[in-house]
Chain A
Amino acid sequence: MDENVLTQHFGVEGLFRIEVYLGQGGYRAVEKALKQMTPAAVLDEVKRASLRGRGGAGFPAGVKWGFVPQDVPKPRYLCVNADEGEPGTFKDRYLMNHNPHLLLEGTIITSYAVGIHAAFIYVRGEYENVALRLESAIAEAYRDGYLGKNILRTGFDLDVAVHRGAGAYICGEETALLESLEGKRGHPRLKPPFPASIGLFQCPTVINNVETLSNIPFIVQNGADWFIKKGLPKDGGTRIFGVSGMVKKPGIYELPLGTKLRTIIFDHAGGMKDGKQLKAVIPGGMSAPILTADEIDLPMDFDSLAGAGSMLGSAAVIVIDRETSILDVLKAVAKFYSHESCGQCTPCRIGTAWINKIVKRLARGAGEQDDIDSIIRLASNIKGKTLCPLGDAAALPILSICQKFRRELEGYLPHA
Chain B
Amino acid sequence: MPKIFIDDHAVEAAEGLTLLRAAESAGIHIPHFCYHPAFAPEGSCRMCLVEIEGLPKLELACSTGVKEGLMVRTMSPKVVEARKGVLEFLLAEHPLDCPICDKAGECKLQDYFEEYGLFRSQFKEAKEKREKKFKLSRNLILDRERCILCTRCVRFLNEITKTEDAGILNRGIHSEVGIFESEFIDNNYSGNLAQICPVGAITDSDFRFKTRVWFLESRESICPLCSRGCNIIIDSHPGYPRTLRTQRVYRVRARKNPDVNFHWICDYGRYGYAYLDEGREDKLVWKKGVAETRLSWDKAAQILTEKVRSLVHRRKNSRIGVVLHTNLTNEEFFLTDRLFRKGLGVEKFFLADPPPGKGDEFLLTADRTANRRGLQEVGLPEQDADPKTLSGLDLLFIFGHYLASGTRPADLKNVLEKIETKALFASHKSSLDSLVDFVIPVPVLAEKSGTVTNIDGRVQTLAAGLGFDGDGVSEWRALLDLAKELKVEPKYFWQLASPETVYLALRKEIPFFK
Contact = CB atoms under 8 A, between A and B. Distances in A.
A44 interface: no
Interface in B123-152: 123-126, 128, 148-149
A339 B170 CA distance: 11
Given A343-B172, A346-B90, A368 B45 contact: no
Contacts of A354: 89, 92, 123, 125
B175 interface: yes
Contact of A190 (B63, B90, B92, B168): B63
A341 interface: yes
Interface string A361-372: 100000010100
Nearest to A391: B46
Contacts of A343: 149, 168, 170-175
A210 interface: no
Contacts of B60: 190
A338 interface: yes
A341 B173 CA distance: 8
Interface string B155-197: 0000000000001101111110000000000000000000000
Contact of B43 (A185, A345, A350, A358): A345
B173 A384 contact: no
Contact of A350 (B63, B82, B92, B168): B92
A240 to B, nearest CB: 30
Given A343-B149, A345-B44, A347-B46, A353 B172 contact: yes
Contact of A345 (B46, B82, B88): B46
Interface in A313-359: 338-347, 349-354, 357-358
Contacts of A350: 89-90, 92-93, 173
A134 interface: no
Contacts of A190: 41-43, 60, 63
A296 interface: no
A129 interface: no
A118 to B, nearest CB: 26
Contacts of A202: none
A276 interface: no
Contacts of A351: 89
B495 interface: no
Nearest to A342: B171
B246 interface: no
Among A338, A340, A347: residue with most chain B CB under 10 A: A347
A229 interface: no
B44 A387 contact: yes
A349 B175 contact: yes
Chain B interface mostly: loop
Q: Size band of the A side of the interface?
A: 20 to 34
A384 B125 contact: no
A385 interface: yes
Interface residues of B, number: 38
Contacts of B175: 342-344, 349
Contacts of A374: 122
A259 interface: no
B363 interface: no
Interface string A142-161: 00000000000000000000
A327 B32 CA distance: 37
Given A343-B175, A349-B173, A381 B43 contact: no
Contacts of A370: 122
Interface in B3-60: 41-47, 49, 56-58, 60
Contacts of A344: 44, 149, 175
A386 interface: yes
A345 B125 contact: no
Contacts of B57: 384-385
A385 B63 contact: no
Contacts of B149: 343-344, 346, 349
Given A353-B172, A387-B46, A346 B89 contact: yes
A342 B47 CA distance: 18
Interface in B85-105: 85-86, 88-90, 92-93
A346 B48 CA distance: 12
A341 B123 CA distance: 20
A114 interface: no
Contact of B148 (A341, A342, A346, A361): A346
A215 to B, nearest CB: 30
Interface string A165-193: 00010000000000000000101001000
A297 B198 CA distance: 52
Interface string A53-78: 00000000000000000000000000
A385 B172 contact: no
A338 B58 contact: no
A151 B478 CA distance: 87
Contacts of B41: 190
A385 B173 contact: no
Nearest to B151: A344
A168 B171 CA distance: 10
Contacts of A384: 56-58
6 contacts: A185-B167, A190-B42, A344-B44, A351-B89, A357-B126, A386-B46
Ranked nearest first, the 6 interchain pairs of A and B with the lowest CB-CB distance are A343-B175, A381-B85, A353-B173, A357-B125, A350-B89, A341-B172
Interface of A: 168, 185, 187, 190, 338-347, 349-354, 357-358, 361, 368, 370, 374, 381, 384-387
Given A346-B89, A352-B172, 7 more contacts: A340-B171, A343-B171, A347-B86, A349-B175, A350-B173, A370-B122, A385-B49
Interface of B: 41-47, 49, 56-58, 60, 63, 81-82, 85-86, 88-90, 92-93, 122-126, 128, 148-149, 167-168, 170-175
